[in-house]
Structure 1
Amino acid sequence: MSNPPTRHDGGAILRRTIRRHRRRLGGGTALLAVHMLAETMVPIAIGAIVGRAIAPGSSAALIWSIAALAALFLVLTAAWRVGARLITRAMQQEAHLLRVEVAGRILHPRGARTDLRSGELLTIATSDAEREAWILDVIPRVVSALTAATVSAVALLVIDVPLGLAVLIGTPVILGAMQLAAPLITRRATAQQEATARAAAMATDLVAGLRPLRGLGAEHAATERYRDASETALTATLRAARARGTFLGVSVTVSALLAVGVAGLAGWFALDGRIGVGELITVVGLSQFIIEPLGMLSHTPGDLATARASADRLALVLGAEPVLPAGTRSVPATCDLELRDVAFRSLDGLTLRARPGELIGVLAHRPQDGEALALLLSGHVPPQDYLGTVTVGGVPLGDIEYTDARRALLVEPHHTDLFAGSVGSNVAAAGTDPDAVRQALVASAAAEVVDAHPHGVDLEVADRGANLSGGQRQRVALARALAAAAPVLVLHDPTTAVDAVTEQAIAEGISGLRHAAAEGRSRAHTTVLITSSPALLAVADRVLVLDDGRVVGEGTHGDLAEVDENYRKVVLR
C-alpha cells in the first residue's frame, strides 16, 4: 500500500489515494448514498402518509405507514453510522500513510533534492498529509448529494413534470457555475499553504537559533522578519477565506432560491388543483431538503481545491529526485580512505590517504577547508558536485550501496543533535550492546556525565539535548559515534566544548578504543580527526596540514610542532 505514485504530481497522488482505499471508499460511498436516499424518501413518505392514510382516515394504513417510516429511519441511521466510520477510517489511515511516506522520503539516506526548509517539510508531513486525505470525503459527499438531487428530481417529475424539470435543469446549472470558481479557489488555497509553510519554517529556524540570536543582539531584526512572513501568511489566508466564503455564500443563496422557487411553484399548482395536499407536502419537504445536498455540493470545490493543493505540495517531496546515487557495490570490513585530486568548495586538488588501522589528524589552517572535507566525506554530496575521486576500501564512494556506505564510513560533524530519550538510547541508537555502550561512554569521557547522576545511562535527554551543557552534549554525541564502530570514522572538532583535562582523556580514549590491540590482534579501524586540538593531534600516527584547499605539510605532531612555525601558532596556543 505504500508504493510511490507512478507520476509524482498532485493528480497522481490523489488517484493513488483513491485506488488504495477503494474498498472502504466504495463501501462507505454506497452506504452514505443509501443514507441520502433514505433521507430523500422521508418527505416522500410523509406526503404519502398524509395523502393515503390521514386524508382518507384509514387507521390500518396509518399504522403500516408509521412502521414503514420507522424502518426508513433505522436504515437511514445505520447506513450513516457504518458509512461514516468507513470513510473516516480510510481518511485517517491515508493521512498516516502519507506522514510515514513523507518522513521516510525526507530521512532517506540518499536524500531528496528539494529547496524546502525543515519547517516547510514539517508542514507538508502533517497538515498537507491530512488535507490530501480529504479527497476520500469529497467523493462520497458528491455521490450521496447527487443521489439525493436525482431522486428528488425523479419524485418531482412523477408528481409534476415542470417541478421535476426545474430541479433537473437547475442543479446542473448550479454545479457548472460552481466549477468556474474552482481554479481560483485552488490558486488561493495553494498560495495560503505555501505562505503558511514558509512562516512555519522561519519560526522553526528562529527557535533553533534563539541562543545565537540573543548573543548577536539580533532578536528585533529576527522578530521583524517573522512578522513580515506571518503577515504574508495572514494575507494569503484571508484571501483564500474570502474567495471560499464568497463562493459558498453565492452557491448557498442560489440553491436556496431554487428550493424556494420549486416550493412556490408547487403551492401555485396546489391552489390550481393540479396536485393534492399529500403531493404538496412532499414537494415542500423535498424543496427544503434539497438545500442540504446542494449545500454539500457547494462545499466540494473548496475542499477539492485544498486537497489538490496539498497533493501538489506532497509531490514536491515524494517526487524529489534522490541526491545520491543508489550504488551497488559493497566494501570490505577493513577499509582505507583515499582522496585523489579532489576539488570541492574550498578544497583544490586535495590528495590524502588514511590506511587501514591508521589514526591520522588533519589540521586545516582555514576552517572552511575542514568543513568542506567533513561534508564531502559525510556521503551527502553527489559525485557530480565535486571533482576527483573519493574511495573507501578502493571503491568509489558514489558506487557503494548507500546503507553499506553508511556502515563503512561514519562522519560525526562538529554541530550535531541528540534525540529525546536517555543517554543510553542516544548512544545505542544503532542497536549497540550494553558493553559497547559503556566502552564508548568511557572513551568519550561521557561516563562522568552518567556516573554523576543517580539514573546513570537512563539520564533523561531533552530534544536536541537542551537539558545538557555544551560539553555534555558533545561527549554523548562522540560516544554515539564511537559505539557505532564504523571501519572508517571521521570526527570534526569533537572536543571544542570541553576543558583541557577532559580533552586529553578523550584523545587517549579514542586511540585506546579504536586503535589499541584487542584480544591479541590489532583492530583495523581507520580514524580521521579534523581538529586543531594538540591533545588529539598528539595521539595521531600522522598529521596532515591543509591550507589553500590542499595538503601543505605532513608528519607527526611532535615533528610539525618543532619545524613548522605556523603549525605551532595554531596548535600550541
Structure 2
Amino acid sequence: MTPVAAPGVSGAVVLRRALRRQRGRVILGIALLCTHQAAEALIPVAIGVVIDRAVATGDVRALALSLGGLAALFTVLAFAYRTGARMAYAAVEHEAHAIRVEIARSALDPHGHRSGMRDGELLSVTASDAELSALVVRVAGLTAAALTAIVVAAVALVVVDVPLGLGVLIGVPLLVVALQRMAPLLTRRSTSQQEALAATTALAVDLVTGLRVLRGIGAQDHAARRYAGASRHALDVTLRAATTKGLHLGLTTMVNGLFLATVAGVAGWLALQGRLTIGELVAVVGLAQFIAEPVQTLGYCVQLFAMARASAGRVARVLGAAPVDRPGSAGPPAPASTRLALDSVRYAGLDDVSLRVGAGEILGVLAYDPSDAEALVTLLTGRVPRQDYGGTLHVDGVPADELHIDAVRATVLVEQHDVALFEGTLRANLSAGADLDDTALRAAVRAAAAQDVLAAHPHGFDRVLTERGANLSGGQRQRIGLARALVVDPPVLVLHNPTTAVDAVTEGLLAEGLASARGAGDRGTVLITTSPALLRVTHRVAVLDGGRIVAEGPHDHLLASDARYREEILR
C-alpha cells in the first residue's frame, strides 16, 4: 500500500481536501442548515406580523392562517435541522475515517516515512488529530448557517427600519473580524496542546511496551516520575489552551450581549417615537435576541477552525512525509544460481563486504562485533535508502534498488530475534492470513522445534495468543517466529540470532530442523549468529571483523584452524 498523500502536503491541503472529498454531504448539509437558520430567523418576523395583522385587529381568520403558517415554519426548520445536522455529522465521521485510513497506509507503507514521529505520536495523530481536522467539515456548515441567519435577520430589520438593519449588517461583520484576531493564538495553543498530548501518549506506549524490562532493572519508579512530569506538562499546556478558549468565549458572549442590548435599546426608542408598531417592536427584539445565537456560533467556529487547522498540520506531517527509500519498479526476478549477493558493500560499520548465497545453500555469518551484525541485518531488510550505502546488493542477479519493494519482500524475508507476534490464534500467527492446512503448519513447527508450544495447550493451533505473544516465553516466541518464516518458505531467508532465548538441547533440534527444511532445493538461507549448533549445519561461514570479511570456509575448518573463531563461539 502507498499513502494517498504526496510529499509536500500542508495542513491547508488536508482541510481543502476534506471539504472536497465530502462535498456532497457538505453541500446538502449546508443547504438544510441554512434553511433551518433562515426559517428560525423568520419566526420573530412571523410573530410580529401575527400581532399586527391578527391579534391587534381581532381577525380570527387571519389568526388561524397565521398559526397554520407558524406551524409550517416550525415543521420546516425542525426537519431541516434534523436532516442537515445528520448530514454534517456523517460528513465529519466519514472524513475522520478516511484520514485515519490514510495515516494507517502511510505508517504501514513498506517504503517507510520520515515524519520523525514515534509510535505513540502516530497513535495520537490517528486517534485525535484525524477527528479534529475533520471538524473543518462541520465548521463549513455552521459558518454558512450562521451567516445565513444573520443576513436574513438583517434584511428583515432593514425592511422594518433601514438604519437599524444597516447597523446590524455593518456591526456583525466588525464583531466577527474582531473575534477572529484571536484565531492565530488559538491555533498555536491548540497545536501545543496536541503535541504535548501526543508526546505523553508516545511515552506511555514506550513505558508499557518495556514494562517487564523496567521492572527487571528496578527502574519503574524513575519511569513513573518521568511520565508524571510529561503528564504535568501536558496538563499545563491543556490548561493554557482552555484558558485561551474560555477568554475567547467570554469575549464573544460579552460583545454579543452588548450588541444585543444596543439593538434592543434602539428598537425601544424607535417604538417610543412611534416609528415602530408593537408587532415590529416584538419582531425587532426577537431578531436581536436571535442574532445572539449565530454570532455566538461564529465565535465557536473560530475555535473549531483553529483546532482543525492545528490538527491538520500534524496530519499533513505524516501524510506528507517523504518515503525513506525509493526502490525501482521491476517485478520479481527469475531464480538464479546465486540468490543473494553483496558486492563491496559499505554501510554503517561494514566496509567493502562481499558475500554470495547460492541456491540450496545455508550461509553462516559470525560477527565479532554485534553492531556489524545489526548493520548487515538492517541492510538486508531493505530499510536502508540506496543513497545511504555503497556497493551493490543483488537479488537473483538484479540490483535490489531496481526492484519494486513488493518484489524484494517476496524474495527476501528477514526474521529477527525480536519476534513480533499478534493477538489472535496460534494458527493465524503461523499462517499470516494464508489458507494452509495443519500438515504444512505442523511441518514448520516441527522444523522450528516448537512442538511443545502445541502440546502445552489443549487447543493446539487454536490457542489464543495475547498481544505481542506475552503469554509465551521468550524462547517460544522465537521458535513460533521461525516456524512462521518456514511456513512462508521465502526464496531467501535471513535469520538473526534465532535461538538467543532457547536452551542448548532445543537449539540443537532447531538447527537440525532448519537444515532439513532449508538445506536443499533452490532456496538460500543466511544465518547471522554466534551459535555453534546453528553454525555447524551451515555449508560455510563468513567471519566479520571490523566491518570486513576476514575469513570464510566450512565451520569445522574454521574451528580447527582459526583460534579467534574457536574462542568466539566456544566462550
Q: TM-score range by the shorter chain?
A: over 0.9
Q: Does 1:360 align with 2:358?
A: no
**Higher alpha-carbon deviation: 139-148 or 191-200:** 191-200
| Cross-structure match for 1:513 | 517
RMSD: 1.4
The one-letter code of the counterpart of 2:105 is G
For residue 456 of structure 1, the aligned residue among 451, 454, 460 is 460
Matches within 5 A, 1:378-417: 378-417=381-420
Contact 2:4–2:102 (CA under 8 A) maintained in structure 1: no
Q: Larger deviation: 418-427 or 219-228? A: 219-228
Question: Whole-Å Cα distance in 2 between the matches of residues 444 and 237 of structure 1?
Answer: 51
Report the secondary structure of 1:23's partner residue.
helix
For the pair 1:424 / 2:427, whether they are aligned, the reply is: yes
Match for residue 554 of structure 1? 552
Question: CA shift at 1:227, angstroms?
Answer: 2.3
Structure 1 residue runs without a partner (length 5+):
517-522
Match of 1:369 in 2: 372
Find the counterpart in structure 2 of residue 182 from structure 1: 183
| TM-score, L = length of structure 1 | 0.96
* Aligned residue number for residue 520 of structure 1: none
Distance across 2 between alignment mates of 1:326 and 1:10? 28
CA distance in 2, matches of 1:364, 1:25: 61
Alpha-carbon distance in 2 for matches of 1:6, 1:555: 47
How far residue 4 of structure 1 moved from its aligned partner, in angstroms, is 3.0
Mark the CA change 1:7 to 1:17 in structure 2 (over 3 Å): closer, same or farther. farther
The residue aligned with 1:519 is: none
Give the superposition deviation at 1:6: 8.5
Instruction: Using the TM superposition, give the Cα deviation of residue 5 of structure 1 relative to its aligned residue in structure 2, in angstroms.
Output: 6.3
Task: Give, in whole Å, the separation in 2 of the partners of 1:436 and 1:504.
Answer: 22
Task: Give how far 1:458 is off.
Answer: 1.0
Q: Assess if the C-alpha contact under 8 Å between 1:54 and 1:62 holds in 2.
A: yes
Deviation at 1:337? Answer: 1.0
Q: What is the distance in 1 between the residues matched to 2:352 and 2:422?
A: 37
For 1:478 and 1:76, the matched residues in 2 are separated by 65
> Is the CA contact (8 Å cut-off) linking 1:6 and 1:12 kept in structure 2?
no
Query: In structure 1, how many angstroms separate the alpha carbons of the residues matched to 2:252 and 2:305?
Result: 16
Question: 2:486: which partner in 1?
Answer: 482
- SS at 1:254 equivalent: helix
Any conservation in 2 of the 1:493–1:529 contact (CA below 8 Å)? yes
| Kept after mapping to 2: 8 A contact 1:185/1:240 | yes
Distance 1:68 1:333 in 2: 81
Q: Does the aligned pair in 2 maintain the 1:156–1:283 contact within 8 Å? A: yes
DSSP 3-state at the match of 1:116? coil
Rounded Cα–Cα distance in structure 2 between residues aligned with 1:564 and 1:509:
28
Q: Which amino acid aligns with 2:418?
A: H
Match of 2:209 in 1: 208
User: Take 1:222 and 1:89, find their aligned partners in 2: how far apart are those partners?
Assistant: 41
| Aligned-partner Cα distance in 2 for 1:467–1:439 | 23
Distance in 2 (CA, whole Å) between partners of 1:501 and 1:57 is: 105
Q: How does 1:488-527 map to 2 (within 5 A)?
A: 488-516=492-520, 523-527=521-525
Q: Is the 8 A contact 1:333 1:408 kept in 2?
A: no
Task: List structure 1 segments (4+ residues) > 6 angstroms apart after TM superposition.
Answer: none
Q: Is the 8 A contact 2:417 2:498 kept in 1?
A: yes
Moved more, 64-73 or 155-164: 155-164
For each residue in 1:215-259, what CA deviation from the matched residue of structure 2 results, as whole angstroms up to 9, or x when unmatched? Answer: 222223322322222222222211111111111110121011111
Q: Paired residue for 2:84? A: 83
Match of 1:467 in 2: 471
1:333 aligns with 2:331: no
Partner amino acid, structure 1, of 2:475? G
Determine helix, strand or coil for the equivalent of 1:506. helix
Structure 1 residue matching 2:494: 3-state secondary structure: strand
Residue identity opposite 1:298 in structure 2: G
Deviation of residue 308 (structure 1)? Answer: 0.8
Matches within 5 A, 1:11-30: 11-30=12-31
Aligned to 1:160: 161
Give per-residue Cα distances to partners, 1:344-394, cap 9 Å, x unaligned: 112122121111111011111111111111111011111111112111111
Aligned to 2:136: 135
Equivalenced residues, count: 566
Percent sequence identity is 50
TM-score, normalization by structure 2: 0.97
Task: For 1:416 and 1:324, locate their aligned partners in 2 and report how far apart those are by CA, in whole Å.
Answer: 24
Alignment deviations for residues 156-193 of structure 1 (CA, whole Å, 9 cap, x no partner):
11111222122111101101101211111111111111
Distance 1:7 1:20 in 2: 19
Alpha-carbon distance in structure 1 between the residues aligned to 2:7 and 2:280 = 54
Aligned residue number for residue 231 of structure 2? 230
From 537, 543, 552, the equivalent of 2:535 is: 537
